[in-house]
Amino acid sequence: MAEHTVEAQLPGVFYRRPSPEAEPFVAEGDTVTADDTVGLIELMKSYHEIKAGVAGTVKSFLVDNEGDVDPGQGLVVIESN
Amino acid sequence: MFEVMNAGLETAIQDYPGRVGYWNQGFPPSGPMDHWSFRLANVLVGNEPGDAALECQFTGPELRFHEDTVVAVTGGDMQPHIDGEPIELWRSYAVKAGQTLKLSYAKTGARGYIAVAGAIRTEPWLGSRATFHKAGVGGFEGRAIQAGQQIPTGDASGGTPDMVVIPEARPELPSDKRWEIEVVAGPNDDWLDEAGVRTFLEADWKLSAKSDRTGYRLEGPGDRLTFADKAINKRPEHGSEPSNIIDQGYPNGAINLAGLTPIILVKDGPSMGGFINPFTVPTSGFWKLGQVRPGEVIRFRAISVDEAQRLAREMTRICSRESLRPA
């Protein structure tokens, strides 16, 4: 078990949901695969998917929904399998 | 020729000053957002300052060269590497056929520029190779470059490797996420009242993520802007809202007041519409729009047209071989 922090590679606005009415992509305690989407970053009028990068369990979010993010900033902590 | 291995995020061919002369038919100039860094990239490799080169946005591409040439990367720091070895920005490098240049995400700024000796030689359209995505013209097949494409380049034999841009000639990006950007008054500054102009110039405006090469949306105290009598008591053809005006031409760089939201009309922006433009970002301040990121704060500084033109001439002088020395 190791902690993996998913980092933003783009500046913009972080979203935890695909649309305002939808359920979040993932919540704390959910299990994810490396290819699962954990959020979106909005930049240049487009939404860019953020992948978990590792298989494991979502431990915590480091940014609020609709929070501003910068490249290199931690978004989600995942405890890898 | 070089091959696109990985395109990055909307990486496109641009030239400077772009597709000039067709504004009256609705075609914007396009061209690089940060024309300062763009021109210096070209100058570094021995090209003319305005030759066609690549604009990279937030995340750069990976390219493989099919012949010996010279490359340079300028602008925001996208951590360029040649065959896995980090290289410096603001410096030209000889590359051999088969070598790759790889950029990553922008650690500083928003846009990086890649120039190749001999310049990109795609087919010009209406006198320019600049890409205008919205209309699908210019560049390579009218849009951002895609993995697998082979991009034609000119004769590289005049390339100038191992040159650097002197530090004084490089644009300086703020380290505190705050930008001071020059504006000139008009064309419709007289539609705001005195307090409205003050609010406009003294406010912090945050760049929205809903911004691209068409327009830069600003978040701030738009609802506190106040208007002159002519904006309120006007003929009905001007429209009902204070910021409505009978359709007029828009300057490139206009700060368009769409309702109460300022939107800076940038390189691929519209040529006309029915909102007022109280202020305009002149050429000399425009390069900053190429490097400001969403979430960063802009404060405007009003300068005269004479001062704006003086600064633009100064910038053109800087974007020349005068600013180079051997590495």
The predicted structure's pLDDT at residue B199: 97
Each residue of B130-160: pLDDT tens digit?
999 999 999 999 999 999 999 999 999 999 9
Closest CA of chain B from A66, distance in Å: 11
CB-based contacts of B239, cutoff 8 Å, min separation 6: B245, B246, B274
Each residue of B262-282: pLDDT tens digit?
999 999 999 999 999 999 999
The predicted structure's pLDDT at residue B266: 98
Beta strand B178-185 with B297-302 is parallel
CB-based contacts of B327, cutoff 8 Å, min separation 6: B91, B162, B163, B164
Interface contact B204, partner A, CB < 8 A:
no
Closest CA of chain A from B215, distance in Å: 10
* 3-class secondary structure, B311: helix
pTM surpassing 0.90? yes
The predicted structure's pLDDT at residue B142: 96
The residue of A15, A45, A47, A64 whose CB has the most chain B CBs within 10 angstroms, and thus the best one to mutate to test that interface, is A45
The predicted structure's pLDDT at residue A81: 84
Report how far residue A21's alpha carbon sits from residue B203's, in angstroms, rounded to the nearest whole number: 33
Q: What is the DSSP letter of B39?
A: H
Contact A13 B105 (CB under 8 A): no
Contact B209 A71 (CB under 8 A): no
The predicted structure's pLDDT at residue A73: 95
Report how far residue B80's alpha carbon sits from residue B262's, in angstroms, rounded to the nearest whole number: 35
Contact B107 A72 (CB under 8 A): yes
Element spanning A50, H or E: strand A46-51
> For A72, left (φ over 0), alpha (ψ -120 to 50), or beta?
left
Closest CA of chain A from B311, distance in Å: 29
- Residues B77-97: what's their mean pLDDT? 98
The predicted structure's pLDDT at residue A1: 72
Report how far residue B98's alpha carbon sits from residue B94's, in angstroms, rounded to the nearest whole number: 12
B73 pLDDT higher than 80 = yes
Each residue of B230-255: pLDDT tens digit?
999 999 999 999 999 999 999 999 99
Chain B nearest-CA residue for A45? B210
All domains in chain B, ordered by first residue: 2-169 (no CATH), 178-317 (2.40.100.10)
- Residues B196-201: what's their mean pLDDT? 98
- Residues B31-45: what's their mean pLDDT? 98
The predicted structure's pLDDT at residue B140: 96
ipTM attached to this prediction: 0.89
Out of A9, A43, A71, whose CB is closest to B209? A43
Out of B59, B106, B209, whose CB is closest to A13? B209
CA B214 to chain centre: 11
How confident is residue B192, by pLDDT bands cut at 50, 70 and 90? Answer: very high
On chain B, the residues whose CB falls within 8 A of the CB of A71 are 105-107
Chain B nearest-CA residue for A7? B105
Q: What is the mean pLDDT of chain B?
A: 97
CATH architecture of A2-80: Beta Barrel (2.40)
pLDDT-flagged residues of chain A (< 50) = none
- Residues B185-209: what's their mean pLDDT? 98
